[in-house]
Amino acid sequence: MIAWFDTSRAAVPVDAGGLAHQVDYTRVLPFIALHLACLAVFWVGISWVAVAVCAASYLVRMFAITAFYHRYFSHRAFSASRPVQFLFALIGASATQRGPLWWAAHHRRHHKRADRNGDPHTPRKGLVWSHMGWFLSRSHFETEWSQIPDLARFPELRWLDRFDVVVPIAYAAGMFGLGGLLERFAPSLGTSGAQLLVWGYFVATVALIHVTLTINSLAHRFGSRRFETPDRSRNNPWLALLTLGEGWHNNHHHFPGSARQGFYWWELDISYLVLRAMAWAGLVRDLKPVPAGFLEYRRVKD
């Protein structure tokens, strides 16, 4: 079994001494290749179909990451049936941000030690480290099972975590197949299998990965602070727009258990609006609100 294909081994401690800043190039190679593949846009060209598929690929998977990988798996901010849980875990896995158990385990540790020693992506180690250096290091590759006992009991989630490249490969193949079908049966659309593979998977995925990572890096450096949290989290409306609501990060660190991160009506939280629609349709339930008292507790005084 190729090392980066199987994450089932026991986790290396988060602060593993000299390993903490060592990049594991064997596992990083696919990440580098993902970026280089975006250069193929110069060969496959562009079409309105490719741009539309790219945008849809970004938005659907961003919702799966923000609403389910983050608010559901990491914080249990609402409830969902096992089929819905698996469906959005599957969509989230196609975002090429590892499996839901790995993602939730590291995020839970982040909240326990936010911006201090033991935080996987503390900004104290620099902007590049907090953005992407942490998950390219050897000490953060394996899933930290002790953080996720409530999730580890689901074998389908463990499978997604163990073989975390299977779904992205299948998703990329699906994009290529869709483009091929359109090229054959709707040639007037001017697209192809190669074009949708590049735009629908490579470009959309790289954008999705880095925009998601800005919450670890930029949202702990730039923006405003409404609440006196023990970390450096900040609210940033531009990041909130790009991440469908995750940019209200100071709000989130103030009360992580809420399904809503835009605490007020003017703080656009698209993921929460979609979750409300899903709750109305009976797909999810028990969306946890922000307790009224928490809107004033530890508020920064003007």
pLDDT on residue 302: 59
Condensed to tens digits (0 to 9), the pLDDT of residues 22-56 reads 777 777 888 899 999 999 999 999 999 999 999 99
Q: 19 CB contacts (<8 Å, ≥6 apart)?
A: 12, 137, 138, 139
Global confidence as pTM? 0.91
Using DSSP's 3-state secondary structure scheme, residue 166 falls into helix
pLDDT on residue 21: 63
Residue 241 near residue 212 (C-beta atoms within 8 A):
no
pLDDT on residue 164: 92
pLDDT on residue 64: 98
Alpha helices in the chain (DSSP H): 25-36, 41-44, 48-63, 82-93, 100-112, 127-128, 155-162, 166-185, 193-196, 204-217, 237-242, 249-254, 270-280
pLDDT on residue 133: 80
| Separation between Cα atoms, residue 219 and residue 233, nearest integer Å | 6
Q: 18 CB contacts (<8 Å, ≥6 apart)?
A: none
Q: From first to last of the 302 residues of the chain, give the pLDDT tens digit.
A: 223 223 333 333 444 345 556 777 777 888 899 999 999 999 999 999 999 999 999 999 999 999 999 999 999 999 999 999 999 999 999 999 999 999 999 999 999 988 888 888 887 778 888 888 888 887 787 889 999 999 999 999 999 999 999 999 999 999 999 999 999 999 999 999 999 999 999 999 999 999 999 999 999 999 999 999 999 999 999 999 999 999 999 999 999 999 999 999 999 999 999 999 999 999 999 999 999 888 988 998 75
- If 0-12 CB within 10 Å is exposed, 13-18 middle and 19+ buried, where does residue 64 land? buried
